[in-house]
Amino acid sequence: MIARRRVSLRFGRRLPGLGAAFLAWGLMFSAGVARTPEGSAPVTEPQGVPGQSAPSQNAPGPSVPGGEWVRLGDDDHPSYLQVPEGCQAGRCPLVVVSHPRLQGAERMIKSASVSVLTRALLRANFVVLLSGDGGTNTWGSPEALRRVAVTQREATGKFRWNGRTYALGISMGGLLSLRSALPGSPYPVGGVALLDSWVNLRSAWHSAASRRREIGAAYGKDAQATAPGPHLDPLALSQRSAPTPLFVVYSPDDKVVPARSNAELLRAHAEQEVSRFVRLSGPHLGGNRFSSDLAAQLVAFYRRLEDRAVFRQTQEFPGLPSAGTASAPGSAEQ
């Protein structure tokens, strides 16, 4: 027994590179999941949500045509997926877009304002999933997150996914988007963009009786109940978690979502190296949130995260094929 142990030790010393390679491959195949964003806790898997499989190098080609919106998810609150033409051959990341209050994915498709952002993302070869969020007034609830996780899983099986998912939350959708990037999310999210977004659930609950009723219904409470606890509030959770890459657009003139109790409270939670806070003027979801300049900044944020992820992958697993974004045929900032 002692002799065998010495032989194995000598073998490891003589071939350190081979040993590291076997270790790397073992870790990849034993995990069987996409890499969790840095600083996040291990991803949990709620009942009914399948695990997130890492993209196979031999994965089949896309099952949806390029350049068209394809309906996914449940019949009552459907989601819509579009795969750019450039992602028919190359591997691409996914951006999940969560909608404002009283809206849905179908309304976002028809919105000229939202289309400015989605077109920029598609030109840059980011696959876009306009999420139904499980309903029009779900306020980032656990059930809404579970439903989005199921749709995200379905969506990533429809194209050559590179294993990375990002989030974009608009107004109420910010609660779900931020929650998806925090520990306990059923799918890993590598960065979050927020447009005039609610992130403080307690603040939203106290802001109006109508919102209080909707939040109570979404979280299983009646209108007279207390606000959902800190363990359900994305802002409170973020304050106890590692910093997250954030792109936050807000206005001090916003009378619907107060920046002081939402966007501005995220500064301490943002990962400083890659995050950006963009202060604009004007009312809630004003036109300057959907300009070509803002769309270019949004794309640049996600591209920084993609470049960093590819760099870290090559450093961690040298020699393995990288899963970067397929190169766009032209600038996304046109």
Domains and CATH numbers, the chain: 70-316 (3.40.50.1820)
CA 226, chain centre distance (Å): 29
Give the tokens for residue 119. 């077109």
Q: Are strands 192-195 and 161-170 parallel, antiparallel or unpaired?
A: parallel
* Higher pLDDT among residues 88 and 282, named by residue: 282
Q: d(Cα 92, Cα 310) in Å, to the nearest integer?
A: 12
Nearest to 115 by CA among 313, 290, 245: 290
Helix, strand, coil percentages for the chain (3-state, nearest 5): 40, 15, 45
On the question of pLDDT at 78 being above 70, the answer is yes
On the question of pLDDT at 3 being above 70, the answer is no
* Cα distance from N-terminal residue to C-terminal residue, the chain: 68
What's the mean per-residue pLDDT of the chain? 83
Q: Which residues pair with 167 in a beta bridge?
A: 96, 192
8-22, 65-79, 107-121, 280-294: least confidently modelled range: 8-22
Q: Which residues pair with 70 in a beta bridge?
A: 81
Q: What is the mean pLDDT of residues 105-113?
A: 97
CA 18, chain centre distance (Å): 35
Nearest to 166 by CA among 125, 210, 128: 128
Tens digits of per-residue pLDDT, 247-304?
A: 999 999 999 999 999 999 999 999 999 999 999 999 999 999 999 999 999 999 999 9
Tens digits of per-residue pLDDT, 155-196?
A: 999 999 999 999 999 999 999 999 999 999 999 999 999 999
**139, 235 Cβ separation under 8 angstroms:** no
Considering the chain, what percentage of its residues have pLDDT values greater than 70? 76
User: What pLDDT does 321 receive?
Assistant: 63
Orientation of helix 292-316 relative to helix 112-123, angle to 10°: 30
- Stated pTM of the model: 0.80
Q: pLDDT category, 1, cuts 50, 70, 90?
A: very low
User: What pLDDT does 75 receive?
Assistant: 80
Q: pLDDT category, 27, cuts 50, 70, 90?
A: very low
Query: Side by side, which strands form the sheet with 276-279?
Result: 70-72, 79-82, 127-130, 92-98, 161-170, 192-195, 246-250, 276-279
**238, 178 Cβ separation under 8 angstroms:** yes
